[in-house]
Amino acid sequence: MKYTRITDLLNIEYPIIQGGMAWISDAKLAAAVSEAGGLGIISGVGSTEDVRSEIQKAKSLTNKPFGVNIMLMGKNVDEIAKLVCEEKVAVVTTGAGSPSRYMNEWKKNNIKVIPVVPSVAIAKRMEKFGADAIIVEGMEAGGHIGQLTTMSLVPQVVDAVEIPVIAAGGIGDGRGIAASLMLGACGVQMGTRFLVADECKVHENYKNKVINARDIDTEITGVSTSHPVRVLRNKLTREYLRLEKSNADTSEIEALGKGALKKAVIDGDVDNGSVMAGQIAGLIKEKQSCKEIITELINELEEAIRRV
Ligand code: TUI
The 3-state secondary structure of the chain reads CCCCHHHHHHCCCCCEEECCCCCCCCHHHHHHHHHCCCEEEEECCCCHHHHHHHHHHHHHHCCCCEEEEEECCCCCHHHHHHHHHHCCCCEEEEECCCCHHHHHHHHHCCCEEEEEECCHHHHHHHHHCCCCCEEEECCCCCEECCCCCHHHHHHHHHHHCCCCEEEECCCCCHHHHHHHHHCCCCEEEECHHHHCECCCCCCHHHHHHHHHCCCCCEEEECCCCCCCEEEECCHHHHHHHHHHHCCCCHHHHHHHHCCHHHHHHCCCCCCCCCCECCHHHHHCCCCECHHHHHHHHHHHHHHHHHHC
Domains detected in the chain: 5-199+287-307 (3.20.20.70), 214-276 (no CATH)
Ligand 1 centre distance from Cα of residue 241 (Å): 20
**Nearest Cα residue to atom 15 of ligand 1:** 143
pLDDT of residue 258: 87
**Nearest Cα residue to atom 4 of ligand 1:** 144
Ligand 1 centre distance from Cα of residue 117 (Å): 8
**Nearest Cα residue to atom 7 of ligand 1:** 22
pLDDT of residue 2: 62
Ligand 1 centre distance from Cα of residue 148 (Å): 14
In this prediction, the residues of the chain whose per-residue pLDDT falls under 70 are 1-2
Residues with CB under 6 A from ligand 1: 22, 71, 95-98, 116-118, 122, 125, 137, 143-146, 227, 229, 261, 276
